Amino acid sequence: MRAVVWHGKKDVRVEQVPDPVISDPADAIIRVTSTNICGSDLHLYEPLGAFMAQGDVLGHESMGVVEEVGAGVTNLSPGDRVVVPFQICCGTCWMCEHGLQSQCETTQVRAQGTGAALFGYSELYGSIPGGQAEYLRVPQAQYTHIPVPDGPPDERFVYLSDVLPTAWQAVAYADPEPEGTLLVLGLGPIGDMACRIALERGVRQVIGVDRVDARLDRARTRGVTTVDMREVDDVGDAVRELTGGRGADAVVDAVGMEAHGSPLVKASHKAVSLLPDALAKPLMTNVGVDRLAAFYTAIDTVRRGGTVSLSGVYGGMADPMPMMTLFDKQVQIRMGQANVKRWVPEIMPLLTDADPLGVDDFATHRLPLEAAPDAYATFQAKEDGMVKVVLKPGMDARDAVA
């Protein structure tokens, strides 16, 4: 089959790789019909490259049609249409039963000290081949799937794999009151969708912050008050001006380690990335420091007694935290990988022809799988108005939409 394969930092290629096969009774094989490029894939594209191996298949936002099931999977049949959550989880352990599927005790990657195994996300999360491919092996398939009906286009449902539950959890953890203000830092796919969800849930004022024209324009058309970082001297002052001097009741950081700013830390990331993997890994896992510009902005802009919800990925182990400010402002912080299946029952009723969240046209680019290398480069550079990419295995290049 054809698949998007990692070969080095900023070097992904589409190559022929062996077809996946059933290797455990709990497996299923899915023929992929749509698979997305996620913002967190860009971490593997460069800063987390030390944890990747040549030949790793990327991708964790996929859906398709069941081709084959293992003997232990009794609730799926060939021909079923399913979305595949980005995390692999059993559904029966204590964590899964308590809505913490991202911490599944059956698939935790204990050798790395991390939570549930993830598709296509390096040795940190199990080195499981990802879904940017023509076919995908799904472990723990009896639970690691979301059944969806035939008929509507893939874009109606494919974001259940990650974008929708991640943004939903970000807003749920922020827990803004209907008469309050939610500030969203970063208007990439997760931040954009978090704004839409907050507005749909009736939050009075939603403010979005970014520096990319295409992202700001998309948010404005949905009724979001926007702050262009290029046009203000200080984001915190701009937000306080919009909130009567108090600050936002809740803040979603949808940026994470890729934040602009922190030039010294950015330089250290570059330096570490040049080291051999054997040296880079312990530095990143034991003394790694993130680019914390977005998190510091969240702390500055949230009102006293407010909540910061982190959905942007961070990976540092020695991040300097402004504890005095956090304590003095009485800030609550909630964070973590989205527990996909916990939120699906709340999201699914919104995936109708009425399309209140705008999922049907959420993608800015629909491209054939073969276009993935160029799409990764464009997405990282935030060029061509690219906010969300859906890759279509089998799509003819002439049918691409960009």
User: Per residue in 357-389, pLDDT tens?
Assistant: 999 999 999 999 999 999 999 999 999 999 999
Asked if 129 and 66 count as a contact pair (C-beta separation under 8 A), the reply is no
Give the pLDDT confidence of 292-303 residue by residue, as tens digits: 888 999 999 999
Q: Given pLDDT bands bounded at 50, 70 and 90, which one contains residue 46? A: confident
Provide the pLDDT for residue 282.
53
Q: What is the mean pLDDT of residues 55-63?
A: 97
Q: Give the integer Cα–Cα distance in Å for 119 and 23.
A: 16
Question: What mean pLDDT do residues 40-47 have?
Answer: 83
Mean pLDDT, to the nearest integer, of 175-204?
97
pLDDT band (50, 70, 90) for residue 257: low
> Is the pLDDT confidence value at 284 over 80?
no
For the cut 80, the answer to whether the pLDDT of residue 260 exceeds it is: no
How confident is the model at residue 320, as a pLDDT?
Answer: 82
Work out the percent of the chain whose per-residue pLDDT is above 70.
89
Rounded to the nearest 5°, which phi and psi values hold at 64? 175, -155
- In degrees rounded to 5, what are phi and psi of residue 66? -65, 130
pLDDT of residue 392: 97
Confidence of residue 62 (pLDDT cuts 50, 70, 90): very high
As given in the structure block, the two tokens for residue 221 are 């058309």
Sequence-distant (6+) residues with CB within 8 A of 137 are: 20, 21, 22, 23, 27, 28, 29, 30, 129
Q: What is the pLDDT of residue 291?
A: 65
Domains within the chain, CATH numbers bracketed: 2-162+339-399 (3.90.180.10), 167-335 (3.40.50.720)
pLDDT score recorded for residue 258? 56
